[in-house]
Amino acid sequence: MEFDQELYDYVLNAAKSFESSLDSRPVTPSDEVIKALDYFDEPLSNGGIEATQVIKMLHEVGEPGVVSSRGGRFYGFVTGGALPVAVAANWMAASWDQNGGPSVMSPISSKLEQVAGSWVLDALDLPASSTFGFVTGATMAGFTALSSARTKIYQNCGYDLKADGIRNAPKIRFVMSEEIHPTNIIALQYMGFGKNELEFVKCDEQGRIIPEEMPPLDDHTIVILQAGNVNSGSFDHFNEVCDLAEGTGAWVHVDAAFGGWVRASENYKHLANGMERADSWSLDCHKWLNVPHDSAIAICRDSNVMQDTFGVRASYLVPGSLREGYHFTPELSRRARGMEIWAALKYLGKDGLAEIIDRTCGFAKYCAKELENQGFEILNDVVINQIVATMKDEDKVDDFIKSVQQDGKTWFGPTDWKGRKAFRISISSHATTKEDIDISLKSIQENMP
């Protein structure tokens, strides 16, 4: 196949045009633009069309329907803005079309994932001997880590899950807070455990698990804690709960999807003290690390349990001298997603990563103060990047949010917090500036009922 210069030139120019428009384009598309996407509803042709025409249609018709989460004023979810260097690495990986599973299919992917994983452990001061697997997002990172935890619990019971299956397996207890992120429950459901089997522990006013409310733990128990409540940003009491688990044989997992990254900052790492004592962690990289979506890491302290859970043996899979990625994730074949993690960390270094954490948390505190000055009530302690706010007349919150969203200058969404109707602002993009915050605050003020 000949190199298509026209195709790649068009893609590059389209990408440059999009990048340069991030500050001026609407943060989210209008209803009219979304309706215009119906243009794509057409029968599949017999003959196809020329490649550049395909991409031209995607650009001209599709780009208006893009959410500008790469810019500095999208606060609807804890979403990073994708560092340009990470986007470029993503392009390289896609161009190379590498399989991140067997090392024989991509020695470069195997090497960079080993390096990137060890850098994450170093940056967050987690046990250096831990093993890790690169997956799509926090849901699958939780699934991967919790599946490994299940393996270890059954091993301690003398039960071989792979041989004998889950139907006759010993009972496992799962203990977590009432405020646990729902993706953890989904992960457990993927594993065959129903919500009615789970034990939920009461939380305080900030959504932190109350250690005194914990049930007795034993060697059939998996405890799930979280670093960063999805609303308040609060952190569970890691040391206190790990003290309760110590010596019991219980496994402690931390959903550290976004809050775990504060351990990279000297100013905020105290919030996650004790997190390192857990047995496993799940981290999203497309949040505060600001790499493109489809990127997360599952980490286990035990150096063997991930391979015991996911390791694949087949006559055609001959181990090489490099790390075999398929031993640490549910997939045998997958995208070489570790490359943009390596690129982001190589570009930022420890100081650059800490700067993103510090700056966005500082913006959250500034934004919360200004919202109070505008008459809003802040419902949480703004400890990191999360703001939960409401207005005196809560019945007007939904219309207010919709009005701001339609204005197009910023975007955030609704939430319910401790029985209050509210909105949530999450500031986690490297691209966010003080000017972005001020533009957003002005839009908020102009759209108040």
Dist. CA 386–CA 78, nearest whole Å: 9
CA-nearest of 427, 415, 440, 444 to 382 is 427
Among the listed residues 288, 427, 445, 446, the one whose alpha carbon sits nearest the alpha carbon of residue 366:
427
- d(C-alpha 108, C-alpha 323), whole Å: 10
What residues contact residue 210 under an 8 Å CB cut-off, 6+ apart?
Answer: 201, 202, 203, 204
CB-CB contact of 254 with 208 (8 Å)? no
Strand segments (E) across 207-361: 221-226, 251-255, 280-284, 296-300
Domain positions in the chain are 5-68, 88-344
First CA to last CA across the chain, in angstroms? 59
Segment (H or E) for 361: helix 338-373
Grouping H, G, I as helix, E, B as strand and the rest as coil, residue 252 is strand
Burial category of 104 from C-beta neighbours within 10 Å (exposed 0-12, middle 13-18, buried 19 and up): middle
Distance CA 413, CA 404 (A): 10
275: helix, strand or coil: helix
For the structural domain made of 88-344, what CATH number should be given?
A: 3.40.640.10
Q: What is the DSSP letter of 60?
A: I
77 is written with which tokens? Answer: 């979810």
pLDDT > 70 in the chain, percent = 100
| pLDDT value of residue 2 | 79
Residues in the chain: 449
Spatial contact of 286 and 80, defined as CB atoms under 8 Å apart:
yes
Instruction: Please state, in angstroms and rounded to a whole number, the distance separating the CA atoms of residues 225 and 242.
Output: 10
pLDDT digits (tens, 9 = 90+) for 324-367: 999 999 999 999 999 999 999 999 999 999 999 999 999 999 99
Interhelix angle 182-190/138-157, rounded to 10 degrees, is 50
Q: What is the pLDDT of residue 1?
A: 63
Angstrom distance (rounded) from CA 397 to CA 385 = 21
Closest-CA residue to 259 (of 379, 122, 385): 385
pTM: 0.96
Cα–Cα distances in angstroms (integers) from residue 215 to residues 98, 185, 191, 194, in the given order = 47, 19, 23, 19
124-162, pLDDT tens digit by residue? 999 999 999 999 999 999 999 999 999 999 999 999 999
Q: How far is CA 170 from CA 147, 240, 378, in A?
A: 15, 28, 46
Given CA atoms 83, 295, 337, 34 in this order, what sign does their dihedral have? negative
| 131 touches 306 (CB < 8 A) | yes
Question: pLDDT tens digit string along 99-108?
Answer: 999 999 999 9
**Cβ count within 10 A of residue 229:** 26
Q: What integer pLDDT is reported at residue 3 of this predicted model? A: 81
pLDDT at 423: 98
With a cut of 70, list the residues of the chain below it in pLDDT. Answer: 1
Nearest to 224 by CA among 117, 234, 214, 296: 214
The DSSP-derived string for 43-105 is: PPPSS---HHHHHHHIIIIIGGG---TTSS-B-SSS-----HHHHHHHHHHHHHT-BSSSGGG
Encoded tokens for 96: 């190379």
